[in-house]
Chains A and B, each alone.
Chain A
Amino acid sequence: MAAPKKSVTKEAGQEKGDGSPPEFTKEQELKALRDMLLIRRFEEKAGQLYGMGAIGGFCHLYIGQEAVVVGMQMTLKKGDQVITGYRDHGHMLACGMDAKGVMAELTGRRGGYSKGKGGSMHMFSVAEHFYGGHGIVGAQVSLGTGLAFANRYRENDFVSLAYFGDGAANQGQVYESFNMAELWKLPVVYVIENNRYAMGTSVTRSSAQTDFSKRGVSFNIPGRQVDGMDVRAVKAAGDEAVAWCRAGKGPYILEMQTYRYRGHSMSDPAKYRTREEVEKVRHEHDPIEQVRNRLLAADVSEQDLKSIDAAVRDIVNAAADFAQHDPEPDPSELYTDVYR
């Protein structure tokens, strides 16, 4: 069993340590830019709609973390499964789910992915192999391990990605799952999105071991720390982890060092960190700006980049429009889908 590898950066937003990740092709850079922009613009719009009262309940935005799901999705093939917690809008868009269906679920309308019955934290798409969207911190880790169990049982070569945060990483069932995943050599990549805060508690105040790539050491699961603000680094590490799993070697842990710009949810007073801390990451390490700058340096015109942004805004505006005009679920839906 390979020893846990440590590479790239110490902490998101800091200077790189041991070398840059492999370069992307221009097509890859453009795709990454477009997919990350879609998430960012979508989340900005969701934040607006929440402020207008069109979205209720809890709404957890993914702004700042876009490189993680976009980079990881680039490592997958059709049929690989994805599961995550409640900060899930970005994952759904990255999986190829329709922005209209996601936004309409946020507004609780019949055209939403769950017919308006799931909301922000509970959306699924069997067609896109997205298994939720789970509101209980850590539950998706066992469930995602179960998806991998199914792959192993069926003797196919699909891999499941189980995303969770630095907060969920302290839940007991995570370690129960690690144990069984390694014991049974299940093809699951545990993607720990370390955005430095479990709700309002920083990792240093909640975690005895803040190097999350080491959380699998006692189960012999290899782990790696990754600059989760650099989509290329994410893709490179993801490729390695997914290949490990596909080869039947068991699970793999990736600690994505990332950062959430917005609050934990829309009602976060953000007393636990300074505005300067947020601004520093935003200005120096923004995952989208990094790609933009590389593309501009590679002679892609500002105009071309603007047209990508405009196309993304059109998708998001259409989704927001749909989500506000689509009717609420029919009252008869109250009693459907309890059993099948």
Chain B
Amino acid sequence: MPIQVLMPALSPTMEKGNLAKWLKKEGEPIKSGDVIAEIETDKATMEVEATDEGTLGKILIPEGTADVAVNTPIATILADGESAADLAKVISPAKQEKAAESAPPAQAKAEAPAPKAEEKVPAAPTAVSEPEPEVPAGTEMITQTIREALRDAMAEEMRRDPDVFLMGEEVAEYQGAYKVSQGLLQEFGARRVIDTPITEHGFAGIGIGAAMAGLKPIVEFMTFNFAMQAMDQLINSAAKTLYMSGGQMGCSIVFRGPNGAAARVAAQHSQDYSSWYSHIPGLKVIAPFSAADYKGLLKAAIRDPNPVIFLENEVLYGHFGEVPKLDDYIVPIGKARVARKGQHVTIISWSNGMTYSLKAADELAKEGIEAEVIDLRTLRPMDTETIVASIQKTGRAVTVEEGWQQSGVGAEVAARIMEHAFDYLDAPVARVSGKDVPMPYAANLEKMALPSVAEVVEAAKAVCYR
């Protein structure tokens, strides 16, 4: 029976890709290892190698097709002795699957429209693309991925200030391990876009030393999991020096990179460090959700005279959002944002936790519960005022985070609500969080270990006594 060639996944978080080019024609013989096609994702262009031998029977997905979901059959290979007539035996592949249904964690992600794709996944009615309230009316918006928003933020700040530079593993020639720094080497050169060896402790210290001398480094960690190697420098040197020097010497530096769970990379590569860093006086900690906030807050972080931990989320990198087309779009650090208005319950989250929260708000609305959703955006300094103002209105609160519950940011939010709005509470604050286990690898267990929309809905109903 003819063999199906499926759209391969090239990275843990890849859900779909573009079929850029077929390198073999129908009827051509194929040996195992032959490159038969090229596929592109927003991160990279990769070659598809045949793993079976025979003849390319039929191309099911023509070249130039965008957003082909992982595991979609893209061609059939005929084994020796089979002919085109045997193709009928193959169950004809279903129409291109919706990308978001292919990977387990995808269900929990905000679905944003791809710009060119014919079959767009409808945009969830989330606040992802909602413009900032502070943006002047009539401002033109551009649709771009969070990855592009981050790149633009860095490029703009590097154009503006010659003391700003980027260092980290694979930031230059590789164009970024997650393609966030794409094009920066070409524009700014090797003096300002610097590939480091795989030595987090050392290059974090070098970055901080350079900042103490007055430069403004952006240090990229390939992921924050690896920043644990550099933890001493981040905390003992970056966060504390201003205080220890009586205000004489500090460091203006940004540490950025993906934080939290990606997909199927297991315990050592899937940890949310939000609460770790937000514990430390002297650091500012930012963890945005929308593309506009990624851009505006990264620009603010680079200009900030203090050390800033900028927690990104790999799952969100490829998501699209609307970003104001302004010469200098800055989002103030320390200001939360009401992403959705409501009067019955307040859901407080940040970063990818917003994905569950906004979807849960949609679900709740169907049942007549109007949830107000607050995107903290900055974890330190935390915008207690915005939280309290909402609780005064709703009297009920749910926190949502991917990190662990004990000593988590949700615990901090709950304590602040108790301290500042106890008299307004009509129910105890509920916390939805990652489960109290190292992240498992198996798809089903991983899904269980993360928060879910259902858990947020359930918690919100519980605090509403519904």
- What separation, in Å, do the CA atoms of A141 and B208 have in the docked complex? 11
Q: Tell me the complex Cα distance, A239–B208, Å.
A: 28
Describe A's contact surface by its main secondary structure.
mixed
Interface residues of A in 163-192 (CB under 8 A from B): 172-173, 175-177, 179-180, 183
Question: Within the assembled complex, what's the spacing in Å between the Cα atoms of A113 and B246?
Answer: 7
Q: How far is the CA of A339 from the CA of B378 in the complex (A)?
A: 15
Interface residues of B in 201-215 (CB under 8 A from A): 201-215
**Which stretch of B237-245, B385-393, B406-414 is in the interface?**
B237-245
Tell me if A81 counts as interface (CB < 8 A to partner B): yes
Across the interface, which residues of A come within 8 angstroms of B131, CB to CB? none
With both beta carbons as reference points, the residue of chain A lying nearest to B253 in the complex is identified as A146
Cβ-defined contact, A149 with B210, below 8 A: yes
Number of B interface residues at 8 Å Cβ cutoff, please give it: 39
Determine whether A124 belongs to the interface, using a CB cutoff of 8 Å to chain B.
yes
Q: Which residue of A lies closest to B283 (CB)?
A: A339
* Residue among A123, A179, A339 with most chain B CB within 10 A: A339
Out of A114, A146, A339, name the residue touching B206 (CB < 8 Å): A146
Stretch at the interface among B191-199, B337-345, B429-437: B191-199
- Chain A residue numbers with a CB within 8 Å of B205 are 139, 141-143, 145-146, 173, 176-177
Which one of A114, A149, A339 lies within 8 Å of B246 (CB-CB)? A114
Q: Knowing A147-B210, A180-B196 touch, does A113 contact B248 (C-beta < 8 A)?
A: yes
Selecting from A27-35, A129-137, A258-266, A285-293, the interface stretch reads A129-137
Is A4 close to B, CB under 8 A? no
A298 at the interface (CB under 8 A from B): no
A107-127: CB near B (< 8 Å → 1, else 0) gives: 000001111111000111110
Cβ-defined contact, A117 with B246, below 8 A: yes
Among candidates B208, B245, B250, residue contacting A146 with C-beta atoms closer than 8 Å: B208
The complex places the Cα of A213 from the Cα of B260 at a distance, in Å, of 43
Q: Which of B165, B236, B243, B247 lies in contact with A135, CB distance below 8 A? A: B236
* Smallest CB separation, A120 vs chain B (Å): 11
In angstroms, how far is the closest chain B Cβ from the Cβ of A212? 19
Interface residue total, chain A, C-beta cutoff 8 A: 47
How far apart sit A152 and B209, CA to CA, in the bound complex (Å)? 13
Contacts A142-B205, A143-B237 given; indicate if A340 touches B250 (C-beta within 8 A): yes
Residue of B nearest to A174 (CB): B202
Question: What's the Cα separation between A114 and B306 when bound, in Å?
Answer: 18
Contact pick for B247, options A141, A151, A177, A337, CB 8 Å: A337
Q: What's the nearest-Cβ distance from chain A to residue B167, in Å? A: 9
Bound: A118/B248 CA distance, A: 11
Determine if A47 is an interface residue (Cβ-Cβ < 8 Å).
Answer: no
Our pick among A126, A146, A149 for the contact of B248 (Cβ within 8 Å) is A126
Name which residue of chain A comes closest to B305, CB basis. A340
- Given known pairs A122-B244, A146-B212, A180-B197, the reply for A134 and B305 (CB within 8 Å) is no
B236 contacts A136, C-beta separation under 8 Å: yes
Docked pose: A148 CA to B213 CA in angstroms: 9
Q: Whose C-beta in chain A lies nearest to the C-beta of B242?
A: A337
CA A180 – CA B207 in complex, angstroms? 12
* A142 cross-chain contacts in B, Cβ below 8 A: 201-206, 208-209, 233
Complex-state Cα separation, A177 to B246, whole angstroms: 28
- Cα(A134)–Cα(B236), bound, Å: 9
Q: How far is the CA of A144 from the CA of B237 in the complex (A)?
A: 12
Q: In whole angstroms, what is the CA distance A178 to B233 when docked?
A: 17
Smallest Cβ distance from A234 to chain B, in angstroms? 24
Q: Are B199 and A179 in contact (CB under 8 A)?
A: yes
**Residues in B whose Cβ lies below 8 Å from that of A297:** none
B162-207: which residues lie under 8 A (CB-CB) from chain A?
165, 191, 196-197, 199, 201-207
Q: Given the complex of chains A and B, what is the CA–CA distance between A143 and B240 in angstroms?
A: 14
Check if B201 sits within 8 Å of A153, measured CB to CB: no
Q: A124-B249, A142-B201, A179-B197 are in contact. Are A340 and B242 (CB under 8 A)?
A: yes
Q: For A180, what are the chain B residues with a Cβ–Cβ distance below 8 Å?
A: 196-197, 199, 202-203, 206
CB distance from A335 to the nearest CB of B (A): 10
A218 CB–B CB distance under 8 Å: no
Name which residue of chain A comes closest to B202, CB basis.
A176
A117 touching B233 by the CB < 8 A rule? no
Question: Any chain B CB within 8 A of the CB of A2?
Answer: no
Is A336 an interface residue when CB atoms closer than 8 A count as contact?
yes
**Residue among B201, B237, B245, B281 making CB contact with A114, cutoff 8 Å:** B245
Whether a CB of chain A sits under 8 angstroms from the CB of B282 is yes
Interface residues of B in 120-150 (CB under 8 A from A): none
B86 at the interface (CB under 8 A from A): no
The answer to whether A150 and B197 touch (CB under 8 A), given A114-B244, A136-B232, A145-B205, is no
A252 to B431, CA, bound (A): 55
Q: Which of B206, B212, B249 contacts A177 (CB 8 A)?
A: B206
User: In the assembled complex, which residues on chain A have CB atoms less than 8 Å from the CB atom of B214?
Assistant: 150
Given A125-B248, A338-B242, residue A144 in contact with residue B209 (CB < 8 A)? yes
Contact of B284 with A by CB under 8 A: yes
Contact status of A115 and B206, CB under 8 A, knowing A173-B201, A180-B199: no
Name the CB-closest residue of B to A333.
B246
Contact of B215 among A112, A122, A150 (CB under 8 A): A150
A339 to chain B: closest residue by CB: B306
A101 CB to nearest chain B CB (Å): 10
Report the separation of the CA atoms of residues A339 and B281 in the bound assembly, to the nearest whole angstrom: 8
A residues near B282, Cβ cutoff 8 Å? 338-339
Q: How far is the CA of A122 from the CA of B197 in the complex (A)?
A: 30
Residues of B within 8 A of A116 (CB): 246
B residues within 8 A CB of A175? Answer: 202
Q: Most A CB atoms within 10 A — which of B214, B249, B305?
A: B249
Q: How far, in whole Å, are A153 and B165 apart by their CA atoms in the complex?
A: 10
User: Known contacts A142-B204, A143-B237, A180-B196: does B210 contact A123 (CB below 8 Å)?
Assistant: no
| A337 CA / B215 CA spacing, docked (Å) | 20
B206 contacts across to A, CB distance below 8 A: 142-143, 145-146, 149, 177, 180
Contacts of B305 in A (CB 8 A): 340
Across the interface, B243 reaches (CB within 8 A) one of A117, A126, A139, A179, namely: A117
Contact present for B284 and A118 (CB under 8 Å) = no
- In the complex, A1→B213 CA distance in Å? 28
* Closest chain A CB from B293 CB (angstroms): 21
Across the interface, which residues of B come within 8 angstroms of A114, CB to CB? Answer: 244-246, 248
Task: A149-B209, A176-B199, A337-B247 given; name 15 further pairs at CB < 8 Å.
Answer: A124-B245, A124-B248, A126-B248, A136-B236, A136-B237, A139-B233, A145-B205, A146-B205, A146-B207, A146-B208, A146-B210, A153-B210, A180-B199, A339-B242, A340-B305
B residues sitting closer than 8 Å to A (CB atoms) are 165, 191, 196-197, 199, 201-215, 232-233, 236-237, 241-250, 281-282, 284, 305-306
Residue pairs across A and B with Cβ atoms less than 8 A apart, 6 shown, are: A114-B246, A133-B244, A139-B237, A141-B205, A142-B203, A150-B210
